[in-house]
Amino acid sequence: MATGKTIYIAVVGVGGVGQAFLGQLAQLQQRLAKRSPPTHLNLILVRRSTKQLSSPGYKPINIGTVLAELDKVTTPFPQLIESVNYLAKAHGKVVLVDNTSDLDFATVYPLVLSKGISIVTPNKKAFSHTFSLWTRIFEAAANGSGPEGNGFVFHESSVGAGLPVLSTLNELVETGDEVTKIEGVFSGTMSFLFNSFQPVAGGGGTFAAEVKKAKDLGYTEPDPRDDLNGLDVARKLTILARIAGLPVESPTSFPVQSLIPAELEDCKSGDEFLARLPEFDNRMDEVKAKAAKEGKVVRFVGSINVGSKEVKVGLESFDKSHPIAALKGSDNIISFYTKRYGSNPLIIQGAGAGGEVTAMGVTGDLIKVIKLLR
C-alpha cells in the first residue's frame, strides 16, 4: 500500500483570516488523509505578533488545540529568520501560510522561496510594494523564473478575497488573450458605503452618516481613513496591472483619489475624524446630486487601461443599468475587457471581503501547491 506524502505547514498570523484558515486546514487535513495514496498535512509552526509555537521534532501539532497552546507559550519570541531556518530543516516539503499584512515579512519572501519553502498568502503589501520586490519574489519562485527546487508562491486572496480574480487574469494572459481594460469595485468597504450612500432606487443618507454606519457594522478598518484614502484599492490595482504586463512601480505611482477632506488628514484618531466628518457632507452631497441629475449613481472604482498604461482609482458615475451600479451590499465586481471577449467583458462578482472567504482563497492556493509538490 502506498504510504503517500507528508507536507509540513507553518501558519503566521492567527487573527480573523488566520483562525478561519486553521478551521479549513483541519477539514482539508482530514480529507487528504483519507485519499489513496494519502497526503498528510502536518502543522509544525504557528506564529503571531508576540508568540510562536513550533514542534521540536517536526511532529504534527493538533490544529484543534493549537491556539490554546499558543496562548500558554512563555519562551522568548524568536526572530523571523530563525523560524525560516527551522522550517528549511524539516524532513520534507514545507508550505508557509502568511495571513498577515506585514511588509517586513514580505521582504523576506525571496529568501524563503530560495530555501525551498512555498508561500501562500493574502498579503497585498507583498505584491504591491516596489516593482523590485515583485520581481525578486517571482525570480525566486519555482512558478516564476526561479530554479527547480525553490518554493512556489500563490496569492489569490490578495485581490477579491476568495473570488477567482488572479487565477482568471493569469489564465487570460498565459493563454495569449489580449487584456485591454480592467475595471471594477475592488473594496467590500467602499462597495457597501456607496451602495448605501446612493442606492440605485434613490435616497441614501449623508456621507458621514453612512461612513459611521459602515464602521459600526464592521465593514471599515478601526480608523475609517484607512479605507477612505483609497490605498487598499490602489494596492489591488497595482497587483492586477503587473499581472497584465504593466511595470507599475507602486500604489502611489498613479492617481488615487482620497475621500478624506484635507482638513481632516491630521485628526489624531478615527473617532475625532468621524466626529468632524459631517462638517464636509456638502461636498459629497454635490457629487451625489450631480450624478443623480444625469440619471446616474456614483461609485468608488479602480480601472486599468492596458493600452494607454493608465491606472487610476477614484469616484466615477455610472448609469443605473450598469453592472457596477447594480452591485449589492459589500460585493466586489471585476470586469476584464479582452480581445477574445470583445465588447462584453468577462465579469467576476461576489463577496470580496470576510475572514471565511479570504481564508478559502488561501486554502485554495494551498491545494494548488500540494498538487505541485513532489
Prediction pTM value: 0.94
**Count of C-beta atoms within a 10 Å radius of residue 95:** 23
Cα–Cα nearest to 186, from 10, 330, 74, 374 = 330
User: Which residues participate in the annotated binding site for L-homoserine?
Assistant: 221
Cα–Cα nearest to 225, from 252, 192, 265 = 265
Q: Which residues contact 219 (CB under 8 A, 6 or more apart)?
A: 188, 189, 192, 193, 330, 353
C-alpha cell recorded at residue 150: 525553490
User: Which residues participate in the annotated binding site for NADP(+)?
Assistant: 13-18
Domains defined for the chain, CATH in brackets? 5-162+357-373 (3.40.50.720), 174-351 (3.30.360.10)
**Count of C-beta atoms within a 10 Å radius of residue 217:** 11
Three-state DSSP state, 96: strand
pLDDT truncated to tens, each residue of the chain (374 aa)? 457 899 999 999 999 999 999 999 999 999 999 999 999 999 999 999 999 999 989 999 999 999 999 999 999 999 999 999 999 999 999 999 999 999 999 999 999 999 999 999 999 999 999 999 999 999 999 999 999 999 999 999 999 988 999 999 999 999 999 999 999 999 999 999 999 999 999 889 999 999 999 998 888 888 999 999 999 999 999 999 999 999 999 999 999 999 999 999 999 999 999 999 999 999 999 999 999 999 999 999 999 999 999 999 999 999 999 999 989 888 999 999 999 999 899 999 998 888 899 999 999 999 999 999 98
Between helix 16-33 and helix 355-372 the angle, nearest 10°, is 40
Between helix 231-243 and helix 165-174 the angle, nearest 10°, is 30
- The verdict on whether 34 is a catalytic residue reads no
Tell me the Cα Rg of the chain.
Answer: 22
**196 vs 365: CA distance, rounded Å:** 33
User: Which residues participate in the annotated binding site?
Assistant: 13-18, 100, 124, 221
Strands 153-154 and 39-47: unpaired
Catalytic residue among 236, 288, 296, 371: 236
For residue 39, the surrounding DSSP H or E stretch is strand 39-47
288 and 315 in contact (C-beta within 8 Å)? no
C-alpha cell recorded at residue 102: 506585514
Q: Would you list the DSSP string of 277-314?
A: GGGGHHHHHHHHHHHHHTTEEEEEEEEEETTTTEEEEE
